[in-house]
Amino acid sequence: MSTLSFFERALLRNKNGKAKCNFCKQLIQYLDNGFTLQRLRRVSRILRDLVDSQPGRLYRQLYVPAPLPGGSDIRRLELVAPMCYALTIKVGPSSPEARPSRAVVDGEPRRSDLKRRPSLWRRRKIAVPDGEAHKPASSIHSLENLSIRGSTETRPSASPAQLLFTDRQEQIEERQLWARLLSHFRQLRSLTLRINGDPAWPGRTAVEDTLVSLRVAIESANLEHLREFSLMPVHAMGIIHLRWHGIGAFSQAQASGAYAWMRIETLDLRVKDPSATGKLTDAQQLMFKKILYEYLRSFAPSLRCLRLVWLGGEGPSPLALHHEPGLQGRHALRWPQLRELFVGNIRLPNQTITLAKEHARPDTAVKILRNTRRDSSVKAIDSSAWVEVLGPASSPVLSPLSERASSVYSQDGKADDSSAWAIGISRSSVNLPFMLDLVNLRTQKRLAASVANCGKRKIWLDPNESNEISNANSRQTIRKLLSDGLIIQKPVTMHSRSRARELTAARRIGRHRGFGKRKGTADARMPSQVMWMRRLRVLRRLLVKYRAAGKIDKHLYHELYHLSKGNTFKHKRALVEHIHKAKAEKQRERQIREEMDAKRAKNKAARERRVERKEQKKNAMLGDDDDAQPQ
């Protein structure tokens, strides 16, 4: 039996409950960063058992390559998936040059592509359990009956139609496999895709097929806790195939797939600049800008934090995309929930700072990547690489320090430790009562204020570029620094009307209008003449409307016009009721008149018939008398 070390004995003694404080539990919580516990677990068997005694702390962060491995690796991944909080998926080979292509030579695919393309030219063996061999269709479409093995086999020569059908079938199976796997990540909060794609315009390759499968799987899986989505890095075709909003999405969109993306609060994009390769035409560059505009617009309503860094060159700002050539007719993107904005390698940073207050919240913090970190890799960009140029209260990060100093190196060191560390001042220098004035930028600030036509209080100088700014001794050089973002003009500050708007909205519904708030007589607060004019105009508009619709004739209109002028009707309801009564009375009079006319006509006809009968009877009597006289 091996001798236990002092560290192992202390942990075992604490685990058995002999110590007053739970040192073992506190140590594991302190080392719970996703990597340290795994390394500690490999030291000895005792430490492995101690770490395994508290499940759920080893697999907070997982790394999965795409395409997925087969066999028992999938099952092991499904077992630890419920304990994962951050998932990173690597898509594509390590370098873009090793990415499989779809090129063919003389109608046949290359032999190297046959070995490297598992989606089209390689197939997996699917084992069907006993008792299901007579139902191949059900076994293929049921994920519970699939057992994917790691061995592959090169498919023999086949017709193009058969290859297309097989490719489509394998894509469906891959999407179902990803959806099944992601459904086990019930505690997932952060998802990162590391995409090694061609920054040019290669078309749809195996990398883009995997991205479409991942997007459909994310929409199918119910990731209720997913709030952060990162693409580090991503190329132009990757953004095109990751679209989920509208009819531009590839593949069939899920009915409830939009909810998975609308819950995203943090979006981190490290975009490879496609124009830096020099292989894109003007039409392709314009198309990419339009697609990027639509992609960001789909996240704009619910996004709280946005990080956008261009790799390989400078790109447009997310707040100024509508100013890009070819996009001038589009509306500006609105960010109603945005709290933090991180941008790097963008063009016209001054314009971004100006537009931040117009298109985002008033308390949005804007941070720009340091000029010294522009050429850094994706993993090298950490929290110290950002400079806050616009704080939540419309003030730069230098506001706590003295405004009388000419540069950050001559500050009096009265700022708190966090603010000084954010602007690049060392912690040891902050504790000093004074600092040496290494660079005097008073002249540059004066020239910048004159060039920008503003005060010196509105000029911000990049503290990390003090040496370069100090070399500027002409207005032309100052203009160049303003355009590059080393010197920034702060936005115009103004008084907030939020409290005034809230008070006005409350007064509209009757708040703050009691006796104690009233000044002046009732007639002075609301003149009776104004009330009379408003009431009379309401009644007259109603009469004109009824006359145009044919509900009243001109005679009734004239009568009601004078009645309204004589204050007969108090409101519209009284006028409408009077119109209904007048029309009903007029209808009743017309009916009575028609009945009387009919009665008179009937009596007249009866009289005429009676007179006619009398004449006939009289004539008959006279005729009989003439016949009775002798001849």
Q: Provide the total of helices (H) and of strands (E) in the chain, helices listed first.
A: 23, 15
CA 124 to chain centre: 39
pLDDT of residue 345: 86
Instruction: For 355-385, write each residue's pLDDT tens digit.
Output: 888 888 888 888 888 776 666 566 657 777 7
Q: For the domain 527-618, what is the CATH code?
A: 1.10.1200.240
Q: Considering the chain, what percentage of its residues have pLDDT values greater than 70?
A: 70
Percent helix, strand and coil across the chain, each rounded to 5?
50, 10, 40
Check whether 85 has a pLDDT greater than 50. Answer: yes
Q: What is the mean pLDDT of residues 532-536?
A: 97
How many residues make up the chain in this entry? 631
Give the integer Cα–Cα distance in Å for 523 and 540: 24
Give the integer Cα–Cα distance in Å for 466 and 440: 9
Q: What is the mean pLDDT of residues 268-288?
A: 85
For tokens 């919240």, name the residue.
361
Q: What is the mean pLDDT of residues 601-623?
A: 92
Long-range CB pairs of 205-209 (<8 Å, 24+ gap) are 205/99, 205/100, 205/101, 205/102, 205/237, 206/92, 206/99, 206/100, 206/117, 206/119, 206/120, 207/91, 207/92, 207/99, 207/237, 207/238, 208/237, 208/238, 208/240, 208/241, 209/119, 209/171
pLDDT of residue 448: 95
Threshold 0.85, pTM exceeds: no
Check whether 511 has a pLDDT greater than 90. Answer: yes
| Residue-range domain boundaries for the chain | 6-52, 527-618
Nearest alpha carbon to residue 50 among 5, 83, 95:
5
pLDDT of residue 455: 95
Give the integer Cα–Cα distance in Å for 221 and 104: 36
Q: What is the mean pLDDT of residues 194-219?
A: 84
| Confidence bin at 276 (pLDDT 50/70/90) | confident
Instruction: For 25-39, write each residue's pLDDT tens digit.
Output: 666 666 655 566 667
**Choice between 227 and 258, residue whose per-residue pLDDT is larger:** 227
Give the integer Cα–Cα distance in Å for 147 and 238: 30
Average pLDDT, the chain: 76
Most confidently predicted of 174-183, 385-394, 436-445, 516-525:
516-525
Q: Considering the chain, what percentage of its residues have pLDDT values greater than 90?
A: 27
DSSP H helices in 131-189? 136-141, 160-182
Instruction: For 455-474, write each residue's pLDDT tens digit.
Output: 999 999 988 888 889 989 99
pLDDT of residue 400: 38
pLDDT of residue 528: 96
Instruction: For 49-74, write each residue's pLDDT tens digit.
Output: 776 666 566 677 888 888 776 666 77
Q: What is the mean pLDDT of residues 237-264?
A: 74
Q: What is the mean pLDDT of residues 238-260?
A: 71
Instruction: For 561-576, write each residue's pLDDT tens digit.
Output: 999 999 999 999 999 9
pLDDT of residue 149: 36
Three-class SS state of 566? coil
Alpha carbon separation from 113 to 121, 198, 203, 210 (Å, rounded): 8, 17, 16, 17
Q: What is the mean pLDDT of residues 231-258?
A: 75
Pairing, β 459-461 against β 266-272: unpaired
DSSP class of 243: -
Give the integer Cα–Cα distance in Å for 335 and 556: 57
Q: How many CB atoms lie within 10 A of CB 312?
A: 16
Q: Are 66 and 167 a contacting pair, CB within 8 Å?
A: no
Q: What is the mean pLDDT of residues 122-146?
A: 33
> Considering only 10-19, 490-499, 530-539, which range has the smallest mean pLDDT?
10-19
